[in-house]
Amino acid sequence: MNLGIRGKVALVTASSDGMGKNIAGYLAAEGVNVVLFARSAGKLRAAARAISQQHGVKALPVVGNMLVGADVDRLASEIKKEFGGIDILVLNTGRAPNPLRDAIDELDEERWNEAYRTQLWGTINVAKIFVPSMLGRGWGRVIAVTSASVKEPMSHHCLSTVFRAGITAYMKHLANEVGAHGITVNCVAPALIATPHRTGSAAYTPTQTETRKKLTPLRRMGTPEEICGTVSFLASMQAGFITGSTINVEGGMLRAMV
């Protein structure tokens, strides 16, 4: 399927590695020029080079922190100089502090502050600069990567659930406010995805993996490609009548009908 976004410009945050990098690569495969924004300079520049070489698009790496206003302002300046602006904004963030805990055990104020800043405020700090800049373009896509725990809280995921729910609410407000400008705003909510952090030092044991597979009717873990494909579709021309929605990518783990 031709998604109709060749030549568009996308900003993907937290994109030096993992899900953000994969999403940038998927958009680039559709002919989208991409801006990668993250703190890890070496990994970020290597990712941009690889994406540009593989897909023949422009890939601009900008080193910075989503939490630092000066970094986000510099990001906006570099994008304006290189591309004039963006058409697609993918808001990907870091994870809540480890180890994961139940709500009753979340007693440390510093963990709450870290999770709030990393997930909710980081998202808002970028969106509040770039969404207004998209209003005059007549077309746009804003997509936040959240979590299926927003719909059905998962054990030990209190911090993630609380602040990703905040992102979902913020995105719903934006959807209502910018739709008349041709901009759609949606969330992608994954769970049970076999991402790289699950295969390294924090890998599930075989027993844990089998237990998680049984949580979904599909009896398997999801793949990063399935998340990236969903994000790419929401960025497409064909998804132009979807806004204010959350697309769950969790293999049917959520049991509720609505």
Mean pLDDT for the stretch of residues 191-201: 63
- The answer to whether residue 204 scores a pLDDT higher than 90 is no
Residue 100 has what pLDDT? 83
Domain count, the chain: 1
Q: Are the C-beta atoms of residues 27 and 51 closer than 8 Å to each other?
A: no
- The answer to whether residue 1 scores a pLDDT higher than 90 is no
Mean pLDDT for the stretch of residues 236-244: 98
Residue 202 has what pLDDT? 45
In a domain, 77, yes or no: yes
Residues 44-103 have pLDDT tens digits of 999 999 999 999 999 999 999 999 999 999 999 999 999 999 999 999 998 888 888 889
Query: The CATH number of the domain where 238 resides is what?
Result: 3.40.50.720
* DSSP state letters, the chain: ---S-TT-EEEEES-SSHHHHHHHHHHHHTT-EEEEEES-HHHHHHHHHHHHHHH-S-EEEEE--TT-HHHHHHHHHHHHHHTSS-SEEEE---PPPSSPB-GGG---HHHHHHHIIIIIIHHHHHHHHHHHHHGGGS-EEEEEE--GGGTSPPTTBHHHHHHHHHHHHHHHHHHHHHGGGTEEEEEEEE-SB--GGGTSTTPPPHHHHHHHHTTSTT-S-B-HHHHHHHHHHHTSSTTTT--S-EEEESTT------
In a domain, 64, yes or no: yes
Residues 21-38 have pLDDT tens digits of 999 999 999 999 999 999
Residue 89 has what pLDDT? 98
- Residue 200: band (very low, low, confident or very high) from pLDDT cuts 50, 70, 90: very low
In a domain, 4, yes or no: no
In a domain, 17, yes or no: yes
Residue 199 has what pLDDT? 41
In a domain, 213, yes or no: no
Residues 127-182 have pLDDT tens digits of 999 999 999 999 999 999 999 989 888 778 899 999 999 999 999 999 999 999 99
- Residue 251: band (very low, low, confident or very high) from pLDDT cuts 50, 70, 90: very high
- The answer to whether residue 195 scores a pLDDT higher than 90 is no
Q: Are the C-beta atoms of residues 99 and 146 closer than 8 Å to each other?
A: no
Strand partners for 10: 34, 88
- The answer to whether residue 201 scores a pLDDT higher than 90 is no
In a domain, 172, yes or no: yes
Determine the structural domain holding residue 155 and report its residue range. Answer: 9-197+225-247
Whole-angstrom distance, CA of residue 128 vs CA of residue 52: 28
- The answer to whether residue 258 scores a pLDDT higher than 90 is no
In a domain, 66, yes or no: yes
In a domain, 117, yes or no: yes
